[in-house]
Homo-oligomer: A and B are copies of this chain.
Amino acid sequence: MKRPTIYDVAQRAGVSKSLVSLVLRGSPRVSEEKREAVLAAVAELDYTPSRLAAGLAGTRTRSIGVVVDDFANLWFAPALEGLRAAVAAGGYSLSVADTALNAHLSQDPIAVFRSLRVDGVVLAGEISAEAARQLAVPAVVLGTRAIEAARVPVIASDETAGGRLATAHLAELGHRRIACISGPGPSASAREAGYLAELAARGLGASLVRAEQTTEAAGAAAADAMLAELASAPGAEAPTAVFAVNDPLAVGAIGALRGQGFEVPRDVSVVGYDDSPIASYRLVSLTSVSGDVRELGEAAGADLVAMLEGEGEFPPSRRLAPRLVVRRSTAAPRAHRRSPGAGPV
């Protein structure tokens, strides 16, 4: 008992296979009569066209591949939803792969997509510049500024602006000693650059620690290290605010600070980045920078579809402005509250 083919449908409906193909692809030049006959046959036979054959025969597969850097980065979930919404308009379907997913067996996701003949790909997350080159199909990069140079539009959140936003918020509250817990990777660098720029613009001094990874544990370790260094320095003063370049780092820092007797935000204010689910948890209530990831996904999807449908030129890179979600992890510094003009003790 084999699967029904377009041929079976044609026979049952009493038409030719071409007609079936036309009906299925919604051609307007078919009689209502035949259309119904075809649709009926399709339903009766439970026919599902083979995308393999369609892709082989046609000029496109109407599928687009999405490469996600890591499925554990919850970041991409809303991005994917925005993408889907955007490409669905063009009749495309998404195929998702994660970089780590096939890394071991040299099962490079890009290679898989190539052999699948996807019409285009979306590089989501911190993709290596190398991956983007030698990419025979139209592509857009979503959410990082790593590969500015390649011939692909980059749809990213302006992470440097986000870093400035977070830092400015703390400065506006009255903080003068604002530390930063950064980490590895281009996103972290961009956010960190924003922190430095904003401090410079305000004439404040910087205090930077780089965590080994961008995890909660690394954030805790970085905060501990920062505190330890302060303790051993002669006249050093502890920061009254910390900007962590992502939420896990921030949560780790809060845990470490609390472990050392500092209450948040009473003694130290903390700002995170990404506005991940944990940030809104009551237990945490973390002020965080939000990249509006879903919209980023939508924009990327729309741009890719435009490249696929349109002739020639490709859309310009875009850098969307992030916004700050203020919660209960930030407040004015104590000294500031007691007597606005007073210097630190």
Contacts and interface: CB of A to CB of B under 8 A. Distances in A.
Given A52-B61, A216-B280, A282-B259, A100 B81 contact: yes
Contacts of A80: 71, 98, 101
B93 A277 contact: no
A282 B71 contact: no
B48 A114 contact: yes
A104 B117 contact: no
B49 A282 contact: no
Contacts of A104: 85, 88
A170 interface: no
B116 A51 contact: yes
The majority secondary structure among interface residues of chain A is helix
Interface string A91-113: 00111111011101101000110
A96 B93 contact: no
Given A115-B49, A281-B252, A283-B283, A107 B81 contact: no
B61 A72 contact: no
A298 to B, nearest CB: 14
Contact of A252 (B93, B97, B282): B282
A87 to B, nearest CB: 10
Contacts of A231: none
Interface in A299-316: none
A150 interface: no
Nearest to A254: B283
Contacts of A96: 95-98
Contact of A277 (B101, B112, B216): B216
A127 interface: no
A56 interface: yes
Interface centre among A115, A258, A278, A283 (most CB of B within 10 A): A283
B61 A71 contact: no
A42 to B, nearest CB: 13
B117 A101 contact: no
B84 A282 contact: no
Given A71-B76, A74-B74, A115 B50 contact: yes
B281 A251 contact: yes
Interface string A253-284: 01110110000000000000000011011111
Given A81-B101, A97-B96, A117 B280 contact: no
Interface of A: 3, 48-53, 55-56, 61, 70-72, 74, 76-78, 80-81, 84-85, 88, 93-98, 100-102, 104-105, 107, 111-112, 114-117, 136, 216-217, 220, 248, 251-252, 254-256, 258-259, 277-278, 280-284
